[in-house]
Amino acid sequence: MKEKLVNDTTEAFQAFFHSDPENIFLAPGRINIIGEHVDYSDGFVLPAAIDKYICFAVKKVEDSETCTFFAKDFDDSFSFNINQKQNPVSQIWVNYLLGVFNAVQESGKKTGGLQIAFSSTIPMGSGLSSSAALECGFAFILNQIFDLNLSRKDLALIGQKSEHTFVGVQCGIMDQFASVFGKEHQVIMLDCHSLEHQYFEANLEGYSLVLFDSCVKHTHLTSGYNNRRKDVDQGKRILWETFPEIEKFRDFSFSMLDAVRSEIGETSYKRCRYLLKEIKRVEKAAKALSEGDVEYLGKLLTETHSGLSTEFEVSCGELDFLVEKTVKENGVLGARIMGGGFGGCSINLIKDENVNEVIEKISAAYKAGFGIEMKVYRVKISDGIKEYKRNEFVI
Ligand code: GLA
């Protein structure tokens, strides 16, 4: 599958630019085991990069001031002058890239002319972070081709900045971090306050993490994502005014939150309460994962779904249906909506021997309930963004 993506992207480059690319890069999507919406609230998250990628075929053009992209999947292209100041444009996919370029330009780093064709196996609008892969993939390419000396952390932050400034989504850092820092077979425990992180062996022998794509597409530009952030920010503002000695959001206690309940209002209260509970769940989940306590991990996933659905209110009828039905099946330890919400995928922890049967039953129930063919992704935990070298794969 990876080989096919690389070949297709290379061919797209050749057809569009009438020459061969010099470098190939792969930027992965991500799953998140647990820790949803807490990345912009000093929480912990447990994401991992997966074997679904955006592939970039790249050629440096000496003495050129132009950077040209060909987006194979949209059959669309865009060029800009690297010496001019960039502003957002009407093609949404372009803004992810221009935002990255702008952030690099603002940091005073010098780049040059490029030709890039890209194509993806990360389904868009499914909660698997194709946007972070696009942003961070381009940041990685600029860094590598022009020796910009940016750290991996810088690349993740540049990706996030692009989303804030050129795309208009006030996202946290989880997706970009996972795409850049992913490691095969390892889950990342990221402290979103300090950006310190540890890797965990994903100790799930005998169990699988399977994604069910509801095929309800979303973009956080128009979903309620930014509004959820506003709800939370209002709560945080009053919490910090009342308890200025607290440094990190996760250190507020439930009784502190209760003390400001009437002042922050019911909506912000509900959102902040979910966040404090979710941050604690992630710590428990990391422990359960490292001890191989898969039963408990599953229970925590399902609790997260309930919080996301009723307190944070980012689920939808289709995802609630999928999760409710899935957790009732034999061999299912837990299930929840994954990512920013408002559509996309559920992540399901299922005993290996039951996976096929669960998929069959849930697909049929979903079809009957909503008339939609559910898609299923059995993903592997993979490395973060890297240059693809053909001979690495030759035995
Ligand atoms: C989206 C955002 C992330 C994070 C998740 C929810 O994927 O890009 O920063 O907030 O939603 O956990």
Q: What pLDDT, in 10s, does the model give residues 281-314?
A: 999 999 999 899 999 999 999 999 999 999 999 9
Task: Report pLDDT digits (tens) over 235-254.
Answer: 999 999 999 999 999 999 99
Task: Report pLDDT digits (tens) over 183-226.
Answer: 999 999 999 999 999 999 877 889 999 999 999 988 877 889 99
Per-residue model confidence (pLDDT) at position 395: 40
**pTM (predicted TM-score):** 0.96
Inter-residue contact 32 to 174 (CB < 8 Å): yes
175 lines ligand 1 (CB under 6 A): yes
Of ligand 1's atoms, which has the minimum distance to the CA of residue 132?
8
Q: Is residue 239 part of a domain?
A: no
Q: Is residue 218 part of a domain?
A: no
Task: Express as a percent the part of the chain with pLDDT over 90.
Answer: 94
- Rounded Cα distance between 339 and 347, Å, is 10
Q: Is residue 189 part of a domain?
A: yes
343 lines ligand 1 (CB under 6 A): no
43 lines ligand 1 (CB under 6 A): no
Q: What is the side-by-side strand order in the sheet with 44-45?
A: 44-45, 186-191, 197-201
Average pLDDT of the chain? 96
Which regions of the chain does DSSP assign to beta strands (E)?
A: 23-32, 44-45, 47-61, 66-71, 76-81, 113-120, 186-191, 197-201, 207-213, 332-337, 345-351, 375-378, 386-388
Per-residue model confidence (pLDDT) at position 40: 98
Q: Is residue 15 part of a domain?
A: yes
Q: Is residue 225 part of a domain?
A: no
Q: Find the mean pLDDT for residues 274-278.
A: 98
Q: Find the mean pLDDT for residues 158-166.
A: 98
74 sits in the region (left: phi over 0; alpha: psi -120 to 50; else beta) called: alpha
Q: Is residue 319 part of a domain?
A: no
Per-residue model confidence (pLDDT) at position 220: 78
- Rounded Cα distance between 62 and 64, Å, is 5
Q: Is residue 53 part of a domain?
A: yes
What domain count does the chain have?
Answer: 1
Q: For residue 8, indicate whether it is catalytic.
A: no
Range of the domain at 173: 2-203+384-394
| Catalytic member of 39, 42, 51, 175 | 175
Q: Is residue 135 part of a domain?
A: yes
- Rounded Cα distance between 45 and 219, Å, is 21
Domain harbouring 187, CATH code:
3.30.230.10
